[in-house]
Amino acid sequence: MTTLPAPARRRQRSFAASAALHATLIAASVIAVFPVAWIALTSLKTKRDTWEQAGQIGSLGLSNYRQVFRDTLFGDWFLNSIIIAVGATALSVLVAASAGYAASRHRFPGRGGLLWTFLVVQMFPMAVLIVPLYNIMSKLHLLDSYFGLMLAYCTIAVPFCAWMLKGYFDTIPRSIDEAGLLDGLSPLGTFWRLVMPLARPGIAVTAFYSFLTAWGEIAYASVFLQSNDHYTLAVGMMTFVSQFKAEWGLLSATSVLVAIPAAVVFFLVQRHLVAGLTSGGAKE
């Protein structure tokens, strides 16, 4: 009986190379963490003259957070952001999944043009689209409404999500669709009951992207929302900065609070993110 040769010993990294690698990683970590730590520290500073001075910490407390909850419309802004972000996410994923599945499974006239349209739309900067979208929503009486802003966010999320899900649906065997049709399911039933559960990692990636797009976006929201009680958190934070003053304590405290829901959504979908991103780039 022959024995297999011992595996080649992995080459040992020299001390200098190891030290340089760890120093680089530490420096990169500090660069990534410093802005977040600085915002968190600024949100706890209670003296105005220490907000802009890196060498002074001064007294720390939760007065900025109390003022945000007590003296601003943070509750209304937060609720508006949740409604708009969740609604835009659901609408974007539904439209993108339908378009991606159709492009993956069917060869209909205009299929190539549809995919190229999704690709080209992503090349336009948001500033170019604000004026035509404003005119369209004004004629449809959708300005200063949640649904109008959701539709505007779909113009950002749907093209990317459709391409992403189309690539993911390509990795799901067509035999799944054929088995569903043999069992008496309609094409819609096959898509909803068989294909969609198998595409959960891809759905998680696109939902996360759509949520973050709607949650932190400010260009569309500042133009399409016109009343203070309809503002999202991103637009509401703009009221803390004016030509004559800047409430850095309130701004940084609100920034910390805004980051919490995004972090929660990330932790809920993180186990699907890697699988969805890697599988979405493969083809059958």
Domains of the chain, residue spans: 16-51, 66-280
Cα separation, 8 vs 11, in Å, equals 9
CA atoms within 13 A on the CB side of 265: 21
Within 10 angstroms of residue 102's Cβ, the number of other Cβ atoms is 17
Of the candidates 195, 170, 190, the residue with the CA atom closest to the CA atom of residue 180: 190
Residues of the chain with pLDDT under 50: 1, 4, 6-9, 280-284
Read off the amino acid at residue 92: S
Sole residue written with tokens 């109390």: 66
Are the beta carbons of 271 and 82 closer than 8 angstroms? no
The pLDDT, as a whole number, for residue 283 is 45
Buried (b) or exposed (e) across 196-225, using 16+ Cβ within 10 A? eeebebbbbbbbbbbbbbbbbbeebbebbb
Are the beta carbons of 248 and 42 closer than 8 angstroms? yes
Are the beta carbons of 84 and 261 closer than 8 angstroms? no
pLDDT digits (tens, 9 = 90+) for 219-278: 899 999 988 888 999 898 888 887 777 788 888 889 899 988 888 888 887 776 665 555
Cα–Cα distance list, 83 to 76, 89, 133, 156 (Å): 11, 10, 21, 18
**H/E element holding 186?**
none
The CATH homologous superfamily to which domain 66-280 belongs is: MetI-like (1.10.3720.10)
The whole-angstrom distance between residue 210's C-alpha and the CA centroid of its chain comes to 5
The pLDDT, as a whole number, for residue 282 is 44
